[in-house]
A and B are shown apart, each in its own frame.
Chain A
Amino acid sequence: MSRRNILSLYKKEILDVLRDKKTLIVMILIPLFLYPAMMLAMVFLMNYMNKENLESTYSVGIAAGEENQVLEGLLTDEEDAFEYLFEVTVYDKKEELEAALSRDAIHAYIALEEGETVPVYEIGYDMTNNKSLSAQGYISEILDEYKEKLRVELIQEYVEDYEAVLEPIDISYKNMASQEASMGSVVGMVLPMILIVSILMGAIYPAIDVTAGERERGTMETLMTLPVKVSELMTGKFLAVSTIAVFSALLNLLSMTFVGLYVYTSMDAVSDMGLNLVDYLPAVGILLVCLPVFALFTSAVCLCVCIFAKSFKEANNYSTPVLLVFMFASMATILPNINLDYKTALIPIVNISLLIKANFELEFQWPMIGLVILSNLIYAAVAVWVMSKLFSSEAVLFGEGFNGVKLFENRRNMKENQMPGVGDTILMFGIMLLVMIYVSSAAVLKLGIWGTGICQLLILLVPVLYAWYMKADFKKLFSLSAPNVKHLLGGVFMWLGIFLLEQVVLVLLSQWFPGMMQTSEDLNSIITAAGFIPAFIVVGISPAIAEEFAFRGFLFGTIKNKWKPWVAIVISALVFGAYHMNLLQFIGGTMMGIGLGYVAYKSGSIWVGVMMHFINNGLSVIFQFYPAVAEAIPILGEESYGVGDLLILAGVGLISVSIAQFLYRDKQQEK
Chain B
Amino acid sequence: MINVDSLSKKFIRDLSKDKRKKHGATKEEFYAVDHVSFHANPGEILGILGANGAGKTTLLRMLGQLMTPDEGSVTVTDSDGTVLTTPLECKKAIGYLSGNTRLYRRLTTREMLMMFGDFYGISKEETAKRAEEIIALLDMESFADNRIERLSTGQTQRANIARCLVHHPDIYIFDEPTLGLDIISSEAIVSFMKKERDRGKTVLYSTHYMEEAQYLCDRIVMIHKGRIIATGTPAELMEASETDNLRDTFRAIIAKEGLENE
Binding site for B on A (CB under 8 A): 4-5, 8-9, 11-12, 15-16, 19-20, 217-219, 221-222, 224-229, 392-394, 397, 410, 412-413
Contacts and interface: CB of A to CB of B under 8 A. Distances in A.
Given A218-B100, A221-B98, A410-B26, A226 B66 contact: no
A412 B25 contact: yes
20 contacts: A8-B118, A9-B119, A11-B118, A217-B105, A218-B101, A219-B101, A219-B103, A219-B104, A221-B66, A221-B100, A221-B102, A225-B66, A225-B91, A226-B116, A227-B91, A227-B119, A228-B119, A393-B66, A393-B68, A394-B66
B27 A217 contact: no
B107 interface: yes
Contacts of A221: 66, 98, 100-102
Contacts of A9: 119
B120 interface: yes
Contact of A16 (B27, B94, B107): B107
Contacts of B24: 412
Contacts of B100: 218, 221
Nearest to B164: A225
Interface string B1-35: 00000000000000000000000111100000000
A226 B91 contact: yes
Contacts of A393: 66-68
Query: Residue among A11, A16, A222, A224 with the most chain B CB within 10 A?
Result: A222
Interface in B68-105: 68, 88-89, 91-92, 94, 96, 98, 100-105
A410 to B, nearest CB: 5
Interface of B: 24-27, 64, 66-68, 88-89, 91-92, 94, 96, 98, 100-107, 111, 115-116, 118-121, 163
B87 to A, nearest CB: 8
B26 A222 contact: no
A16 B111 CA distance: 11
A177 to B, nearest CB: 53
Contacts of B119: 5, 8-9, 226-228
Given A8-B118, A221-B98, A394-B68, 17 more contacts: A8-B115, A11-B115, A12-B104, A15-B111, A217-B104, A219-B101, A219-B103, A221-B66, A221-B102, A222-B163, A226-B91, A226-B116, A393-B66, A397-B67, A410-B27, A412-B25, A413-B25
B38 to A, nearest CB: 21
B94 A225 contact: yes
B103 A225 contact: no
Contacts of A5: 119
Contact of B92 (A8, A19, A217, A227): A227
B101 A229 contact: no
Nearest to B24: A412
A228 B120 CA distance: 9
B32 to A, nearest CB: 13
A217 B118 CA distance: 22
A16 B96 contact: no
Given A221-B66, A393-B66, A412 B26 contact: yes
A410 B20 CA distance: 12
Given A16-B104, A228-B119, A413 B27 contact: yes
A222 B101 contact: yes
Given A227-B120, A394-B68, A20 B26 contact: no
A507 B220 CA distance: 75
A225 B96 contact: yes
A219 B98 CA distance: 11
Nearest to A217: B102
A597 B154 CA distance: 59
B52 to A, nearest CB: 18
Nearest to B68: A394
A218 B88 CA distance: 21
Contacts of B98: 221
